[in-house]
Amino acid sequence: MTSLLRTEAQARAALVDVTGYRVHLDLDTGEETFESTSTISFTCREPGASTFLDVAATTVHSITLNGNEIQPSAVEGRRVVLDDLAVSNTVEVRATMTYSRDGQGLHRAVDPTDGRHYVYGHLFLDAAPTVFACFDQPDLKAPYDVTVRAPHDWTVIGNGDPTRTAPGEWTLSTTRPLATYFVTVCAGPYASVHDEHRGVRLGVHARRSLATELREQAPQILEVTKAAYDYDDELFGVPYAFGEYHQVFVPEFNAGAMENPGCVTFRDQYVFRGAYTRNDVLTRSNTVAHEMAHMWFGDLVTLRWWDDLWLNESFAEYMAHRILSEATEFAEAWVDFGIVRKIWGYAVEHTPSTHPVAGSEAVDAGSALMNFDGISYAKGASVLRQLIAFIGDDAFVAGIRAYLAEHRDANATFADFLAAMERASGRDLGAWADAWLRTSGRDTLGVELDLDGDHVRGASVMRRTPDAAPTSRAHRLDVVGYRGGQRVVEDDLTLLEAMTPAPALVGAPAPELLVPNAGDLTWALVDLDDATLAALPEHLSSVPDASARVVLWTALIDGVRSVTVDPRHAHRTFVQAWPHEPSLTVLEAVGRHLFGPVTAALLPSEQAQVVRDRAAAAQAVLDARPAGSPESLVAARLLADTTCDVALLRDWAAGRRVPAGLEGDDELRWSAVTRLVVLGEGGDADIDAVHDNDRTMSGDRNALRAKASAPTAAAKEWAWAELTRDDGRSHYERNFLASGFWRVSQRDLLEPYAERYFADVPAMAGWVGQDALQRLAGLAFPWPLVSTATRDAADAALAQDLTPAVRRAVVDERSRLDDALRSLEKYA
Ligand SMILES: [Zn+2]
């Protein structure tokens, strides 16, 4: 598939200006395809010149340029050349397009609960030509007039304000100038809740089978929406620009959400079924606030090219946490940032795929997609926090206001942003930006203590820059020492050198735990001193500051990947400290999501005991915390995933004797029955019994995962075929098959599939989109087979021609495997 080169985009933008799109979509022509008519008005700076239009149709019926027919056969790949342009031009393309099943393009899904169909457009990053012919690049922004024909009982929502003009006929009002990747249409028998805020009509929408949950949860979603709107409007000094504000919770969505102006799409797992906690609501609220910030960063001012995607994502990421902590009930939002988001970015720093926050090359659109990772989001947001610590919040806000005012409805670059910040702060930020934004990698920080008996005689903070990308980053941070659950010493520092004295620590009592970056303000690998590391099992949970505990948990997990911490010590810390962790956010993230690298770095003979220990820790929390509390709910979910207590699992799978608060919770039943299957104690009849009670989209997917988990050769053969065959399954179904397939306790059975992974998954690039395939290639990687043979197979695959998505996934997983092998060599 052709991916637009940056040089081609530059040449096209130099030649043409798009003045408007008229797009008509007919969604009432069957379940496989739809009809698309795109009429584009554009001007050309060099009459007589040529350019090209992007179109990825199933069948092109006609192409008309300035009244002259172009043969549909002239389309090559995804392009058609437009010759002999006039000053003002009109091109019209009529085509039949195909609905997608991988969440990219115009995705169509069927809800098994009631058989109803739902459609949504996700045109990011370069899927717009699969929906309408266009000049698909972010800097050719233009207003859109969209009309839609749809079945009579459908609702149509899009970027412009929707009006139903006749049964099944919808008109969306003319938009402000939009980049192609922001255009969306959502259509189907959606259930809706409406509201209004400061003259803006608000809507939240979800599948009809989620209507009860939507009505129950919409007030909270709308409350955060309004808080974020007010906060952004006030801070940015530029009003919200895109008319009605709709939030559509759509099925089988690849990302968390997408910031389509006026019509944000979210994954519909955010409309919670069954039991959920404050944490789940925090995560959803974070995404709501993130997308609202994009209405300014990204939508009103758009990146000129994909190398500046951090301008969108780092800001939205930063703003979401700022808004949540300052303007909503979620004061703990920065704790969540540390333990969920930064850990994601730190994991990327361990791989060869890491890259600078800004200015990654992005020679074409396809490779740019690979940089939507923890660096562009979490590291970028952390760097913004360092920028604010460096220039002050007033200068930062003044810079943002100037930047938005100057580039509204247009495009901007890194240089534009930096210039605005330099003007607002009156400082030269060139060296700062080079170090923090244009250089990849992170520093390692540690504290060197000189003790005199039980008092500190001298203390310095050490900063070590990676050899691969040397630079001098200034860090603003604090160092805090704890003893007996109290802060006993602290110092606020700016690190400019390899060693920086910490005079405020001198004379203080020797701490039990000494935490560099205790406020979690900077971005670095924290190398704990030996005494602190040794004290973690006993004392970690007594540290009173959640941000410091986040840094300690992170240092442990990071340390396992860096092969500086024995995974057995990390596990011992988990067993002793985790059950007493005071923060729900940290309890959940550490308990359920972060110990993968630790498990991978243990011998097979150790892993069964580790799973039993984790189940015991979960049971301890369940026994100690109040029944029905969110902590007990987190613990129950971990217990269902890890316990070997077959009687308990049988009860829970049947919905019997479940912990308070989890009555009627389908997810718990699925976890329990899947665990039974993994243990060889459950089969198809048990899966069917749970499934009969949950004939929903998520029920269907959970059934696939449970079946793929069975410890039999036949089940694995079936699951692998379902996973890798082009048979119309959605990307979500494949992801669930993959997440059930690999089980550490089933290594013998799984051995042959390492080779098959490296043959079958790359071959899927022909029919699965890059975005979906990158996720799948990660999930389907043979990670329980930690061996040099798997590493060699990965190396052999990497020597072949792979698409960017598969290559990125294999590079990252291979690096995770290599870290585990090095750890085994050092510690096992
Ligand atoms: Zn975003």
Per-residue pLDDT tens over the stretch 710-722: 999 999 999 999 9
Mean pLDDT of 111-137: 97
Name the amino acid, one letter, at 398: A
pLDDT tens-place string over residues 261-318: 999 999 999 999 999 999 999 999 999 999 999 999 999 999 999 999 888 999 999 9
Mean pLDDT of 547-553: 98
Tokens of 48: 């007589």
Q: How confident is the model at residue 2 (pLDDT cuts 50, 70, 90)?
A: low
Using a 10 angstrom Cβ sphere, with 0-12 exposed, 13-18 middle and 19 or more buried, the burial of residue 55 is: buried
Q: How confident is the model at residue 371 (pLDDT cuts 50, 70, 90)?
A: confident
DSSP-assigned beta bridge partners for residue 93: 38, 63
pLDDT tens-place string over residues 692-712: 999 999 999 999 999 999 999
Q: Which residues contact 615 (CB under 8 A, 6 or more apart)?
A: 638, 639, 642, 643, 644, 645
Mean pLDDT of 727-752: 95
Q: Which helix (H) or strand (E) holds 224?
A: helix 211-236
- Measured distance CA(705)–CA(699) in Å, rounded: 10
- Measured distance CA(311)–CA(138) in Å, rounded: 13
pLDDT at 509 over 60: yes
Contact 203, 245 (CB under 8 A): yes
Tokens of 85: 């342009």
Q: Cα(289) to centroid of ligand 1, in Å?
A: 10
Neighbours of 208 (CB within 10 A): 18
Q: Which helix (H) or strand (E) holds 211?
A: helix 211-236
Q: Cα(290) to centroid of ligand 1, in Å?
A: 6
- CA nearest to 149, candidates 105, 119, 180, 194: 119
pLDDT at 629 over 90: yes
Residue 408's pLDDT is what? Answer: 97
Mean pLDDT of 580-590: 98
**Number of residues that this document lists for the chain:** 828
- Measured distance CA(475)–CA(781) in Å, rounded: 37
pLDDT at 1 over 70: no
Q: Cα(309) to centroid of ligand 1, in Å?
A: 9
Mean pLDDT of 4-21: 97
Mean pLDDT of 777-800: 97
Q: How confident is the model at residue 684 (pLDDT cuts 50, 70, 90)?
A: very high
Question: Does the N-terminal peptide bond of residue 437 adopt cis geometry, omega within 30 degrees of 0?
Answer: no
Using a 10 angstrom Cβ sphere, with 0-12 exposed, 13-18 middle and 19 or more buried, the burial of residue 613 is: middle
pLDDT tens-place string over residues 636-650: 999 999 999 999 999
Q: Cα(371) to centroid of ligand 1, in Å?
A: 12
Q: Which helix (H) or strand (E) holds 448?
A: strand 443-452
Tokens of 753: 């599939």
Residue 370's pLDDT is what? Answer: 83
DSSP-assigned beta bridge partners for residue 23: 38, 146
Residue 368's pLDDT is what? Answer: 83
pLDDT tens-place string over residues 141-195: 999 999 999 999 999 999 999 999 999 999 999 999 999 999 999 999 999 999 9
Name the amino acid, one letter, at 452: D
- Terminal Cα distance for the chain, rounded: 46
Residue 382's pLDDT is what? Answer: 98
Residue with tokens 């970690």: 540
Contact 508, 540 (CB under 8 A): no
Q: Cα(675) to centroid of ligand 1, in Å?
A: 35
Residue 595's pLDDT is what? Answer: 86
**What secondary structure does DSSP assign to 350-382, as a single string?**
TSTT---SS-----BHHHHGGG-SHIIIIIHHH
**What secondary structure does DSSP assign to 695-709, as a single string?**
-SHHHHHHHHHHHHT
Contact 448, 460 (CB under 8 A): yes
Residue 514's pLDDT is what? Answer: 97
Contact 476, 517 (CB under 8 A): no
Using a 10 angstrom Cβ sphere, with 0-12 exposed, 13-18 middle and 19 or more buried, the burial of residue 713 is: exposed
Residues with CB under 5 A from ligand 1 (ion): 313, 316
Mean pLDDT of 579-593: 96
Mean pLDDT of 732-745: 96
Helices 380-391 and 309-327, axial angle in degrees (round to 10): 70
Q: Cα(671) to centroid of ligand 1, in Å?
A: 30
pLDDT at 62 over 80: yes
- Measured distance CA(511)–CA(489) in Å, rounded: 8
pLDDT tens-place string over residues 248-265: 999 999 999 999 999 999
Q: Which residues contact 35 (CB under 8 A, 6 or more apart)?
A: 24, 25, 26, 29, 94, 95, 96, 97
Q: How far is CA 114 from CA 111, 332, 562, in A?
A: 6, 39, 50
- Measured distance CA(66)–CA(87) in Å, rounded: 11
Q: Cα(291) to centroid of ligand 1, in Å?
A: 6
Q: Which helix (H) or strand (E) holds 549?
A: helix 546-562
Contact 251, 312 (CB under 8 A): no
Q: How far is CA 300 from CA 13, 85, 132, 417, in A?
A: 19, 30, 22, 14
Q: Cα(157) to centroid of ligand 1, in Å?
A: 21
Residue 600's pLDDT is what? Answer: 92
Residue 366's pLDDT is what? Answer: 82
- Measured distance CA(515)–CA(708) in Å, rounded: 43
- Measured distance CA(150)–CA(231) in Å, rounded: 37
pLDDT tens-place string over residues 414-450: 999 999 999 999 999 999 999 999 999 999 999 999 9
Mean pLDDT of 454-478: 95
Q: Cα(620) to centroid of ligand 1, in Å?
A: 38
**Average pLDDT taken over every residue of the chain:** 96
Active site residues: 291
- Measured distance CA(49)–CA(41) in Å, rounded: 16
Hey, CA dihedral for 214, 217, 219, 222, is it positive or negative?
A: negative
State the maximum Cα–Cα separation within the chain, in Å, rounded to a whole number.
90
pLDDT at 461 over 80: yes
pLDDT at 360 over 90: no
Beta pairing, strands 169-172 & 144-149: antiparallel
Q: How confident is the model at residue 558 (pLDDT cuts 50, 70, 90)?
A: very high
pLDDT at 828 over 70: yes
